[in-house]
Chains A and B, each alone.
Chain A
């Protein structure tokens, strides 16, 4: 859009805003998205500061004394079966949960975007080969893939990341392919060729930006889903190894004490819930803000 600026001699000058500025301007008006962003920034800040200021081993594990303390003044989230402060563990755990879910989604997105764009734009044999391969991955439950990968590569954060990316890319490939196929036959693509644009530029500048909104929504939903997946895998014991304070692993630890000390499950569970909610709110807001057709 344009921005009117009065210069000294009273002449009105119009200046454009970049795509990023414009998106931000409209995102600011969306309350849900702003709450989501605020929560995520707070979480990232807290986990970063906690990791710089305190050392997990000396400050949390070594300081543990009282076991199964209910939430109180000193330990606002209570303590667990080892006497560790749950609030501190939840904040530390954000690092692992966010890193694994963002990382696996990013890898899945890049691979899926590339494969989906190839399949959707060229069609024919390329499309068939790529999509049937994708179908194979889509048809295996992600927990199966993860268990196989983790047992092959050993239990580590990196192998968990890789396993979850394998389970993620197929959804992105499908969504990208479908939306590219609706865009590829439109006249402005032909107009791009008639203007002398090379194919790769047409795909990047004209086809992909028109497919962005479903992909953005899918991305934010996947980040949320992957937090839950990572937690589930840790809960099952194939994810992050203890004593790493990953949220799912904390849930798993608290399971045995859920009758007597429910707060051990409650707080990591709430952390997962609110983070996923924040990501979804942000995703919805981004989709609305980036679509020029929804402009008011």
Chain B
């Protein structure tokens, strides 16, 4: 199947006054058409930086995209001119932001914020765009009569629906959702996830879903990539990751979740903290926290190796977990 997005050996650094932050260190993954990839990892693993790189919006300075390539629908994002980028953003690729409370402009009515994207990319009159915006609002489950309301008059869940409507207004082929449900409470989370999943399926879109919630991943994603310290440590279909876990870090993530089948058991958290991205350890960056580490792990940084099918794992002791 053809890939919508291909990221190859991406390296992103933040060159600050205090030193260089190695945010993303040789990241590679691809997303097939009409599939959803979940990007999982803890805070600071580089998930949001990955999303910003795809839009070529890494804040510069201090951010530097030092190497690699990002190909979107066959076009190289990193070599595009500013004009081409503006044309691509919002039209071919759209983004759903994490916090709907701050992602909407407080002084513009929500309908007009949806219409704005249409006016820019489809070059239609603002009256026509407003009509389309009302349609978008109905689509995400908000009455069109609310289109002249300001963001503070809507609830958190409704605001996130508006953010989704803005992202989908120009029918992008690829959607980036950066923790779309983190700021919402659990009942609204389920509604918003169901809405996103529905819209994705109906409009034949592909999606990169960034989250640190494995439950969300299980519900929405076809494929999963687990990220740690700016690298992908395990990637495969959801079934591969959940049922045939191949990396000690992924196993640690699952062990730190409460298990409904074995009630009363203690959780097993991953020891230690994520390494300081300014001073990444030599060798495997997970080795200081890994319960299975050996001498090899301290010296060599493992690359992704094929396990079977589409399942890749980056661990020197590949296969160890299965035994």
Contacts and interface: CB of A to CB of B under 8 A. Distances in A.
Given A2-B148, A197-B86, A292 B107 contact: yes
A125 to B, nearest CB: 12
Given A188-B105, A196-B121, A292 B150 contact: yes
Interface in B62-109: 85-91, 94-95, 97-99, 102-109
A212 B105 CA distance: 13
Given A2-B148, A188-B102, A194-B57, 16 more contacts: A1-B148, A1-B149, A14-B145, A14-B148, A191-B103, A191-B104, A195-B116, A195-B117, A195-B166, A196-B87, A197-B90, A205-B116, A209-B105, A210-B106, A212-B107, A291-B107
SS class, residues of chain B in contact with chain A: mixed
A1 B112 CA distance: 12
Contacts of B152: 292-293
Contacts of A292: 106-107, 150, 152
Contact of B107 (A17, A196, A198, A210): A210
Between B109, B130, B147, the greatest number of chain A beta carbons within 10 A of the residue's beta carbon is seen for B109
Given A191-B95, A191-B97, A194-B55, A210 B105 contact: yes
A195 B97 contact: no
Contact of A187 (B99, B108, B148): B99
B89 A193 contact: yes
B98 to A, nearest CB: 8
Nearest to A295: B150
B97 A16 contact: no
Interface string A263-296: 0000000000000000000000000000111010
Nearest to B102: A187
A192 B163 CA distance: 11
Contacts of B105: 188, 192, 206, 209-210
Assign chain A's interface to a size class. 20 to 34
Contacts of B150: 292-293, 295
Interface in B174-197: none
B111 interface: yes
Contact of B57 (A1, A190, A205): A190
Nearest to B98: A187
B144 interface: yes
A186 interface: yes
B145 A2 contact: yes
A192 B120 CA distance: 11
B259 to A, nearest CB: 35
A196 B95 contact: no
A196 B91 contact: yes
Can you list the 3 inter-chain pairs with the closest CB atoms, starting with the nearest? A196-B89, A196-B90, A16-B148
Interface string A9-32: 000001011000000000000000
Contact of A188 (B88, B104, B145): B104
Contacts of B98: 187
Interface in B111-128: 111, 116-117, 120-121
B90 A194 contact: yes
B86 A190 contact: no
B108 A209 contact: yes
A243 to B, nearest CB: 48
Contacts of B89: 193-196
16 contacts: A16-B109, A17-B148, A188-B105, A188-B106, A192-B105, A194-B57, A194-B94, A195-B89, A195-B120, A195-B166, A197-B90, A197-B116, A210-B105, A292-B106, A293-B106, A293-B152
Contacts of A196: 85-91, 117, 120-121
A187 B121 CA distance: 21
B144 A14 contact: yes
Between B111, B120, B121, B148, the greatest number of chain A beta carbons within 10 A of the residue's beta carbon is seen for B148
Contacts of A190: 57, 97
B209 to A, nearest CB: 16
Nearest to B107: A209
B103 A187 contact: yes
Given A194-B55, A196-B91, A196-B120, A16 B107 contact: no
A17 B111 CA distance: 12
Interface string A139-179: 00000000000000000000000000000000000000000
Given A16-B147, A17-B148, A194 B104 contact: no
B25 to A, nearest CB: 24
A188 B159 CA distance: 12
Contacts of B90: 194-197
Interface in A198-228: 198, 205-206, 209-210, 212
Interface in B264-304: none
